[in-house]
Amino acid sequence: MSDLEGRTLDRYKLKQLIGKGGMADVYLGYDPRFERTVAVKVFRRDDEDLLRRFIREARLMANLRHASLMPIYDAGESVLDGLTQYYIVMPFMENGTLRGRIRRQPPLSLQEISNYLTHIADALDYIHKRGIIHRDIKSSNVLLDTEGRCYLSDFGIARTATDATMTTTGGVLGTVDYVAPELFEEGQKANAYSDLYSLGILLFEMVTRRFPFAAESQIALIAMHINNPPPSPRRLVPQISAPTEKVILKALAKRPELRYATATTFAEAFCLSLTPRSGENTTSEVTPRREPVSTDPGDAKTAVKPVALSTLSVRPAPLAGLTESHLLPATNAPFAQQPAGVMQHSPRLRRMTMVALALVMLLAVMAPALFFVLGHHQLRPVTPTPEAPQPVVQIHTAATPTARATMTPTPNITATAHVATATAEQQVKSAKATALAQPTGSTATGDVQTAPTGNALYTDPLNNSGAPATAQANWNESNSCTFQGDGYHVTSRSALVTCMESSHSYRDATISVDMTLLNGQIGGVIFRMSSVPFVGNYAGYLFEVDSQGNYSFSCSSITAGNTVLKEGSIPHGFRSGYHVKNTLQIVMNGSSLSFYINGVFLDQETDTAFAAGTMGFLALSASAVYSHLRIYSIA
């Protein structure tokens, strides 16, 4: 229902779509009667059962009075364009969700975590005493105001002791990352103990900026909740004390009776564990380690095949500003070649790389000819200065000069539909004129006017490895990188997998590609990538997007790991979920890098780490399909 932007529902003016849920959209709105900004939650599904839940949520929230529960201003229904729209009006929380705060820098301090946990626990005990089980405790359901107070929200799947429908079905609802293991057993229903387990996951996420369990499918993740002990929080965050770790692990006990009796008891135990010992400072930031952590699976039996944590990475909270954890294959070779397309960022690999680079420098003194070889593998290329201009785009290929003629130009990349009726030549001229007239950026609505593009360098539907342009590009083909009828499939079980073409090197150009996530976490584009000598790995930029519309832009260096330069949420126009197509666009113009999704401007960053290189696609614990690749030069 993004078409409700700019409309008036009852007396509320809906300005902008700011969030999507399972059964409702949330709009930034304005209430002229009280002259205040509000959040308007509008039901958007054609489902009678979900509508009953939505109305029930409004009534439930209206009867709850607690300082840490999201209040509601109004609720009702209104006819718009002949359709009845149901809505709930709440305060607008300027600081967004706790999930967003966890992902931002700097990390939460232990004192901030303690304050949030105390308020959430107090609200949880309040509803538990009234016979209400929330069933969806998670960081995205906790909202923050400008004063730093937090509010528990979203009672859409909560159940009460008097709700016969919800208590007799016994169905498992909620987000699998947070669901208690006993709820996957037949005949088990959600209760206060299962809410407390979800609160324990939330605490683990706040402290470590990661989830304790990660898997490529929900079935595997369920098995880990049932079988595997959580990883040691102290190995991820060395600053926390042993008593603090003990509190977190007790909250995540597999057996409900071994957890805390109440949420308040849990919060108090955590606060007491923060009592400073000699030399400790509880107000300092908690900085997670970047090393991968693995533990052995437990001995509990289950109908689902257990998944060994030793084969999986510990997943960060979605798009957190941390390095992905990858496990190196067992090898005794000091410079073992890693599997093609898999990026590794372990400390051991960094040490090996430093030794390799030192060796390269020594050999360079003895053999000047080596400079010519390494000139094609610069780890951190230098951006050309204005006094020494470089070619706009460099293409290195072993193909014959006639090979470029086989590339079929596609329409120019624009965010305004009316330009599509113009000819390709007019589009190019318009794009150049726009690029010269004003810097690429956002308008008042955040949409890109026209992405600056020039001559088509490479266009490819990516559905046939034998096509001339595809064969010329020399794409990776393996179990993780396959061409199929609907596009180029990139599949990752746990580590970050990259599938690249190796024939072209792009400096100043635009990249546009359609991405369809089939399952899992994250997909995206890698660009200005270069190979690192001896190590068999790559360095460059990553533009990542998850299924819920969160994005991240990072710089990947073998020696420094993955550094997040920018992350956030797509303001509007993103199609969330799986098996839906979104168009990712990147504009590379010198050190200026701009990012768009479906024509919506996201961000413009300046970085000089990498000036040119090849491109490809990525998947992190996900399967994604890429199609209709279009790359244009910037003239």
| Residue 612: both structure tokens together | 């040119």
pLDDT band at 375 (very low <50, low <70, confident <90, very high): very low
Could you tell me if 133 and 49 lie in one domain? no
CATH number at residue 54: 3.30.200.20
Q: Which residue has the higher pLDDT, 316 or 575?
A: 575
Q: What is the mean pLDDT of residues 81-88?
A: 90
Rounded-to-integer distance, Cα 92 and Cα 254, Å: 37
Q: For residues 103 and 81, state if they share a domain.
A: no
One domain for residues 71 and 115: no
Q: Is residue 386 assigned to a domain?
A: no
**How much is the average pLDDT of 514-533?**
85
pLDDT of 596 > 90? The answer is yes
Domain identity same for 105 and 55: no
For residues 427-434, give the mean pLDDT.
39
CATH for 170 = 1.10.510.10
Band the pLDDT of 418: cuts 50, 70, 90: very low
Query: Apex CA 223: angle with CA 219 and CA 226, to 5°?
Result: 140
Find the radius of gyration of the CA atoms of the chain: 26
Phi, psi angle pair for 417, to nearest 5°: -65, -30
For the segment 424-429, the average pLDDT, to the nearest whole number, is 41
The pLDDT value recorded for residue 523 is: 94
What pLDDT is attached to residue 159? 56
- With 0-12 / 13-18 / 19 or more C-beta atoms within 10 angstroms meaning exposed / middle / buried, residue 380 is middle
Q: Which amino acid is at 124?
A: L
- Looking at residue 285, its pLDDT comes to 61
Q: Is the pLDDT of residue 371 over 60?
A: no
Task: Name the least confident of 99-103, 244-248, 410-414, 617-621.
Answer: 410-414
pLDDT at 81 over 90: no
- Please state whether beta strands 24-31 and 12-20 pair in parallel, antiparallel, or not at all (unpaired): antiparallel
Residue 470 confidence (pLDDT): 93
Q: How many CB atoms lie within 10 A of CB 402?
A: 8
Segment among 130-134, 171-175, 474-478 with least mean pLDDT: 171-175
Residue 78 and residue 10 share a domain: yes
- In this predicted structure, what is the pLDDT of residue 160? 55
Cα 563 from chain centre: 15
Tell me which of 60, 91, 122 is where a domain ends.
Answer: 91
Residue 71: burial class (beta carbons within 10 Å; 0-12, 13-18, 19+): middle
Residue 537 confidence (pLDDT):
53
pLDDT tens for residues 277-333?
A: 544 554 456 666 544 333 333 333 333 333 332 333 333 333 333 323 222 222 232
Q: What is the mean pLDDT of residues 419-434?
A: 39
Partners of 76 in the β-ladder: 87
Is the same domain home to 217 and 285? yes
Assigned domain for 103 exists: yes
- Same domain membership, residue 261 and residue 204: yes
> How do residues 118-170 score in pLDDT, each as one tens digit?
999 999 999 999 888 988 899 989 999 988 899 998 876 655 544 433 333 33
Q: Tell me if 193 sits within 8 A of 259, measured CB to CB.
A: yes
Q: Which of residues 119 and 498 earns the better pLDDT score? A: 119
SS3 117: helix
Span 365-387, average pLDDT:
37
Under DSSP, is residue 262 helix (H, G, I), strand (E, B) or coil? coil
pTM (2 decimals)? 0.48
Helix (H, G, I), strand (E, B) or coil at 379: coil
Would residue 342 count as lying in a domain? no
What pLDDT shows up at residue 538? Answer: 67
* Average pLDDT, integer, range 599-614: 90
Kindly state whether residues 87 and 104 are assigned to the same domain: no
Indicate the angle between helix axes 192-208 and 242-251, nearest 10 degrees.
140
Contacts of 486 (CB under 8 A, 6+ apart): 463, 516, 625, 627
Q: How far is residue 370's CA from residue 366's CA, in Å, rounded to a whole number?
A: 9
With respect to residue 54, please indicate whether it lies within any of the assigned structural domains.
Answer: yes
Q: Is the pLDDT of residue 397 over 70?
A: no
Residue with tokens 């437990």, as numbered in its chain: 298
379 or 264, higher pLDDT: 264
Pair (161, 272) in one structural domain = yes
Burial of 346 (0-12, 13-18, 19+ CB in 10 A): middle
Helix or strand (DSSP H, E) at 193? helix 192-208
If we measure between CA atoms, which residue out of 389, 143, 109 comes closest to residue 276? Answer: 109
Q: Classify the phi-psi angles of 599: left when phi > 0, otherwise alpha if psi is within -120 to 50, otherwise beta.
A: left
% pLDDT > 90, the chain: 42
594 domain-assigned: yes
Query: Can you count the helices (H) and strands (E) in the chain?
Result: 13, 22
Q: Could you report the per-residue pLDDT of 576-591, keeping only the tens digit for each?
A: 989 999 999 999 999 9
Instruction: Decide if 462 contacts 470 (C-beta within 8 A).
Output: yes
Query: 583, 597 in Cβ contact below 8 A?
Result: yes
Last residue of a domain, one of 47, 74, 91: 91
Domain contains 333: no
Query: In the predicted model, is pLDDT for residue 385 greater than 50?
Result: no
Integer Cα distance of 402 and 36 in angstroms:
64
Per-residue model confidence (pLDDT) at position 37:
95
Residue positions forming the annotated binding site for ATP? 41
Same domain, 110 and 78: no
pLDDT tens digit string along 7-65? 999 999 999 998 877 778 899 999 999 999 999 999 987 788 888 888 877 888 888 88
CA dist 405 and 401 (Å) reads: 8
- Position 496 scores a pLDDT of 76
Total of domains in the chain: 3
357 in a structural domain: no
Asked if residue 321 is part of any domain, the answer here is: no
Rounded to whole angstroms, the Cα distance separating 477 from 467 reads 14
> Pseudo-torsion of CA 513, 519, 521, 526, nearest 10°?
-30
pLDDT at 284: 53
Cβ–Cβ < 8 Å for 186, 158: no
Structure tokens at 608: 């000089």
Domain boundary among 91, 110, 127: 91
What pLDDT is attached to residue 539? 81
Residues marked as binding?
41
Distance of alpha carbon 298 from alpha carbon 88, whole angstroms: 44
Q: Are residues 595 and 454 in the same domain?
A: yes
Question: Range of 582's domain?
Answer: 401-633
Dump strand ranges (E) for 384-508. Answer: 456-460, 481-484, 487-491, 496-500
Give residue 410's pLDDT: 36
Name the DSSP letter for residue 590.
Answer: T
CATH number where 519 lies: 2.60.120.560
On whether the CB atoms of residues 491 and 619 are closer than 8 A, the answer is yes
Q: Does residue 129 sit in the same domain as residue 66?
A: no
Q: pLDDT-based confidence at 635, cuts 50/70/90? A: low
Cα angle 550, 553, 556 (rounded to 5 degrees) comes to 135
